[in-house]
Amino acid sequence: MKMYINGEFTSGKAKERITVIDPATEETLGDAPRGTSEDARAAVAAASASFPDWRRAPANERTAALHQIAAKIRAHHDELVRLLTKEEGKPLPENDEELWWVEETFDYYAELARHERGRVIPPGEPGQFNFVLKEPYGVVGCIVPWNYPLLLLAWKMAPALAAGNTVVIKPSELTPLSTLRLVEVACDHLPPGVVNVVTGYGPETGEPLVTHPDVPVIAFTGSLAVGQRIASLAAPMMKKLHLELGGKDPMVIAPDATMDMAVSGLAYAALINAGQVCTSTERVYVHESMFGRFSEELADFVGKLRLGNGLDEGTDIGPMIRDKFREKVEGQMADAVGAGANILTGGRRPSEFGRGFFLEPAVVTGVDHTMRLMREETFGPVIPIMPYKDFDEAIALANDCQYGLGASLMTHDARLVKRFFEEVKAGTIWINDPLTDNFAGPFGGMKMSGLGRELGQEGLDEYYDVKHVHWDVEGGVKEYWYPY
């Protein structure tokens, strides 16, 4: 496939191609250009040229355009689901859900975009008129990860376009094909230059977007280290940054929690997409009165989950994206075991698969906060659990982390719920239903998990700059002017 710049598919200045493989089979799926800084600049030039007309387009026109994107994606839903599964590895049901979210996100922001453009505020004096305008910034650089390549693109692209911005998309070099195909089937009705896609590696195409003077906004989802790199590059230019970074989300199991619900809910929260989710539950705290039984039932439940190719019916957990990510997870588990932890189930490379980056989902006990497995982002199918004595300790453990993306609690005690959502420092709090999003509810992190919010009105406002207009309708000389 080719990059998409100024309404045309092109190889640009790329002299090399990036091979894209299926993580379940390691077979080649296709390739994409290894874009250059020149390609990034060409895409920015196209987006800049199209911005004046796009920002002036009536809100109803942009609304119709976004609804068309959603409709065209629906028309290719099954094709895109299968492509996502081949490219990224998630089982078909998970990618079916991802595409539904993509479609609905474009429809949601299509309608939200024509709801308001600012507000009128009371004047300071009679005869004056004060109002606030929300205006698009210009070109938005959307740098998207591999774990939810279309969902996390939609969460940036839809509100950015709805607000009147144009976009340059830089997909992960691991999963560019689904992004290019989505743009091919769903964006051909947009004016040239409104949407552009540049493929390649971060230093060669991503960083040129970050440092380009005509890209005032960078929207990025990915690791803390890369987010810090982006922030350091963008700071001298005072760019608007929207950074959704790492997570190490806790889950607390209260003594009154329903065992079946807590076990299955935790397994889902920790193992969906083989644990490769920024909001995966990666630390679990279980009340000591139920710790032994809970650990046994969780290990039994997880041990029965079906590992396999995401295209196969009945697969619960697919492969990890690449071997280096699997090795990182194995390294954290090995360090924990060396420090006294116990693996109750899983943690091995299954022998029945000749190829692919599979790793059995693991349940680990005997852990504590001195271990990397409980401190660093894992991004893999591992559930480390430890006991706590009382709810004060549970909250302290949940907060004992540099990240603050999400946190979950399993309980039916309203008093514990109130304490949890008031005292735990995280951008999203889930009670009895982990990892559930809401189109109208803002998503994002606190502490080292990032800046800004996606979804909801807050997600749209991220792509608006704000202007206050003070208009003295009457005019005339003011008594507080010179001379005093």
* Strands 240-244 and 217-221, sheet pairing: parallel
| Separation CA 444–CA 247 (nearest Å) | 10
Beta bridge partners of 317: 307
Q: Compute CA distances 158 → 35, 112, 365, 456, 460, whole Å.
A: 24, 10, 42, 12, 9
Cβ contacts of residue 203 below 8 Å, gap of 6+? none
Instruction: Let me know: does 134 contact 116? Beta carbons within 8 Å.
Output: yes
* 285 exposure class (CB count in 10 Å sphere: 0-12, 13-18, 19+): buried
Q: What is the side-by-side order of every strand in the sheet holding 3-5? A: 8-10, 3-5, 195-197, 166-170, 139-143, 217-221, 240-244, 450-451
Q: Where are the alpha helices (DSSP H) in 143-223?
A: 151-162, 176-186, 207-211
Alpha-carbon span 282 to 84, nearest angstrom: 25
| CA atoms in the 13 A half-sphere facing the CB of 471 | 9
Q: Is 401 a catalytic residue?
A: no
Task: Give one word for 379, left, alpha or beta, with left for phi > 0 and alpha for psi -120 to 50.
Answer: left
Q: How far apart are CA 374 and CA 262, in angstroms?
A: 20
Token digits for 79?
A: 């094709």
Q: If we measure between CA atoms, which residue out of 137, 112, 372, 149 comes closest to residue 237?
A: 137
Is 184 one of the annotated active-site residues of the chain? Answer: no
* CA–CA gap between residue 439 and residue 447 (Å, rounded): 23
CA dist., res. 357 & res. 347, Å (int): 13
Q: How far apart are CA 391 and CA 416, in angstroms?
A: 8
Active-site residue, from 94, 204, 244, 377: 244
Angle 155-159-165 (CA atoms, 0-180°, nearest 5)? 125
Beta carbons of 180 and 200 less than 8 angstroms apart: no
Burial of 344 (0-12, 13-18, 19+ CB in 10 A): buried
Indicate which residue of 278, 376, 377, 401 is catalytic.
278
Angstrom CA distances, 444 to 172, 256, 375, stand at 20, 29, 20
Positions marked catalytic: 244, 278
